[in-house]
Amino acid sequence: MIIAKRKRISLICLAFTFLISFTIFINSSTIVRIFSYSYSTSGSDISASEILSNLVSWIERYWDPIYGGYARSETEEGIIDFRKELQVQGYVARMYLKLYEITENKTYLQKAENILKYVNVTFYDPLWGYYASLLTRDHRIISPNGVYSRYGSATYHENILTLKVYLEYYELTGNKSILGWVSFVFENLLKSFTDDIYGGVATIADIWVLGKSPFTQSLTILLAYKLYLQTHKNVYLDIINETITVLRKMWDYGYHHFYYSDYSILNWNRFPIQNVGSSPLLAYAIYSVLFDNRYQEYINVLEYQVLNKYWDYEYVGYPRAWSDDFNIIISRKYLFDHLYVAEDLYLYNTIRYGYNQTIGNRSQELLNIVFTWFYSETKGYFIRTVTREIEQLDKTLDIASNAYATYIFLLDFDGDGILNINETEKLESKWFRSEKSDLESIYEMIITYLPYIILAGAYIIVMVFIIKARKQEKGPESKSYY
């Protein structure tokens, strides 16, 4: 009777152990989340910081283990574009520099330094005096269309981005040789791309036509401004003065996408928003701070256009393209456009106003749109495009855009010019630290190993009951006499 009772108890304990194991397996993520701060977005209980931390891990997976460098993208079907693009390396390095600035974790600085070294070794062409924009996986220069050619638009734009990243690296480290390198490459760029007849920076478009864009001139002004702040050399003031004149010659109640070298209009459509709106607005603000207010009317018009004319009041956000008379012609919306305008408006707000509530609200609204509509909970990253009605469309993982999203979310941490998504709660930088305090380490060990400790304890209890039951079945041991 007693033995049968003990068997039943053993079976009950064994069943209880398996029930605990199954429960732990199903709810292991919930156990961790119980102890973590959560931020609700799109009906999801997950913190903004946790999402960004996951993004950093996602991006790191796309480092090419064979040839080095980050891949460009991965489609929803899992096809990876292993070609190496300059801007991808730039945005990832910029992300790591921002993480280092916030956390003071030197691991992030080392990652950024490794990327910049890789860029110098593989992308820099000493014959050109600047960087190529697109390489094969094994680092051969390619030009699938005009923008990636030696004098292409993408080549110029991505060189400017890379030099901005080097300047941010200089600001964090104080390495004077970096400042000299940026000045050297910028000078080479201007020598190669400047139009000696009509002035301004001329680049080759995708259809292999040489011309000018307001975006290209604006980027030139922004980099010259950053170099002037670091060096106080008048040569950069001269560049700004000359380039703003080029922008003025393109003016037509705002801007069009692309012009011939003589400023006649090649593509009358107005797109994307950063090319025709936010970047020229920032360029004029820089000029007004350094010189005078002669272009105040242009600033007023562009500010109105960026905040109102180009804005989709029916569904929110910025459509991809508008006609000459401001009718929407491409309605889908791009992640990259919204990130770029958010940064432009943040810098414009800082330079022109210090802080203006209306401008600040729009930057914050853009990040809310990115966080709410472009983030895929099932994929775990920000997708490339949505429809005008804000339905997810192209679910490609674009490495540059996701690195840029991480950078933008951390940009004002915490100045406070108000840019981050959850400004009232603040982003939790603990998600990005690998150098932890003792309490943090103990906490993470408990959370990680608690389920296994419970499971092991349950098994020990069951085994004790089983062993005792078997002893009772055998009865007392008989002695042997010889």
On whether the CB atoms of residues 245 and 306 are closer than 8 A, the answer is: no
Q: Among all chains, which residue has been given the structure tokens 């022109």? A: 352
Structure tokens at 153: 């638009």
* Spatial distance between the Cα atoms of 243 and 212, rounded to a whole number of angstroms: 12
* Mean pLDDT in consecutive groups of 10 residues from the start of the chain, 482 residues: 56 56 42 28 57 88 97 96 98 97 94 98 98 98 97 98 98 96 98 98 97 98 98 98 98 98 98 98 98 98 98 97 98 98 96 94 92 91 96 96 94 64 43 45 56 71 69 51 34
Q: How many CB atoms are located within 10 Å of the residue 477 CB?
A: 7
pLDDT of residue 223: 98
State whether CATH 3.20.20.370 applies to domain 40-438: no
pLDDT of residue 426: 44
235 CA to centre of own chain: 32
Kindly tell me the burial class for residue 272, based on how many C-beta atoms sit within 10 Å of its own C-beta (0-12, 13-18, 19 or more).
buried
Structure tokens at 85: 């693009």
pLDDT of residue 34: 23
Sign of the Cα pseudo-torsion (274, 275, 277, 278, in order): positive
62 CA to centre of own chain: 14
